[in-house]
Structure 1
Amino acid sequence: MDLSAYTPYMLSLLRIMVGALLLCHGTMKFLGFPESEHRPTLFSIYWVAGVIELVAGGLITIGLFTQPATFIASGLCAFAYFVGHARKDFYPVLNGGEASVLFCFIFLYFTFAGPGPISLDALIGLFGSSTPQ
């Protein structure tokens, strides 16, 4: 069974899911949902990260300005890994940084692959997005 015809749709589904996961980090910091103790101080590094998570996560989820948003999100996740995890231990599995590394490379992939056909970018023709053949 050849499932390759569904590849563009799976690309969109993956983008929606990882965008929503990033968005949750931002909503947790600023909207208290899901409920958390994380309340960053205004203009702290965690506050700036929360703003990026909220804005980029929302844009990635709906597929608008996907490639610039995923590029910024990829950098955010790389920064989070090196600042928050790598100094604890060399191995991501031991320093708790697997999610940061995974997010970083998934977002980097979307920077080059684009948002897929189910996106506002594809709907309005931004960044060379195309609808499926």
Structure 2
Amino acid sequence: MSNSLNTWAPRMLSILRIMAALIFLAHGTQKLLGFPPSDGSPAPFTLSWIAGTIELFCGALLVVGLFTRPAAFLASGLMAFAYWLAHAPQSAFPVNNGGDAAILYCFIFLYLVFAGPGPWSLDALRKH
């Protein structure tokens, strides 16, 4: 059983990257493209608009696994910044301040900086 789990480990890295990126991308499409519908879109060049732009572009790059390490680094930094700017001042506890997702995104994307995109990615295809 251990061998079959080890065989799937690189593929699961790709699946983790794709799924986290799709959900991250949805935050950018909601902010900038109005889908899914929300209360409204941020004014251009505000912090929320800049975050949406990073979520949209880095999310798209991460979904397909292109320039994975730099995109993940930028996305991780954005989520750390978002946590400390928007969530931490509300409470010291992530479960109380709504920052759970920001922390998880931060560390998943930081992991991708070091682990890479996995085999199901455009980065992997570019290496061949």
Q: Percent identity?
A: 56
Q: Which deviates more, 28-37 or 63-72? A: 28-37
Correspondence 1:20 to 2:22: yes
* Cα distance in 2 between the residues matched to 1:102 and 1:53: 15
Which residue of the partner structure matches residue 29 of structure 1? 31
**Structure 2 counterpart of 1:65, which letter?**
F
The CA deviation at 1:38 is 3.7
Which residue of the partner structure matches residue 72 of structure 1? 74
Which residue of the partner structure matches residue 47 of structure 2? 45
* Cα distance in 2 between the residues matched to 1:43 and 1:31: 15
Which residue of the partner structure matches residue 106 of structure 1? 108
Which residue of the partner structure matches residue 88 of structure 1? 90
The CA deviation at 1:78 is 0.3
Unaligned runs of 5+ in 2: none
**Structure 2 counterpart of 1:36, which letter?**
S
Runs of 4+ off more than 2 Å:
none
Which residue of the partner structure matches residue 60 of structure 2? 58
The normalised TM-score by structure 2 is: 0.96
The normalised TM-score by structure 1 is: 0.92
Unaligned runs of 5+ in 1: none
Deviations 1:10-41 (A, max 9, x none): 00000000111111001001111111114111
**Structure 1 counterpart of 2:47, which letter?**
I
* Cα distance in 2 between the residues matched to 1:7 and 1:63: 16
Structure with higher helix content: 2
* Cα distance in 1 between the residues matched to 2:64 and 2:35: 19
**Structure 2 counterpart of 1:6, which letter?**
W
Which residue of the partner structure matches residue 123 of structure 1? 125
What is the root-mean-square deviation in Å for CA atoms of aligned residues? 1.0
Report how many aligned residue pairs link the two structures.
126
* Cα distance in 2 between the residues matched to 1:114 and 1:49: 23
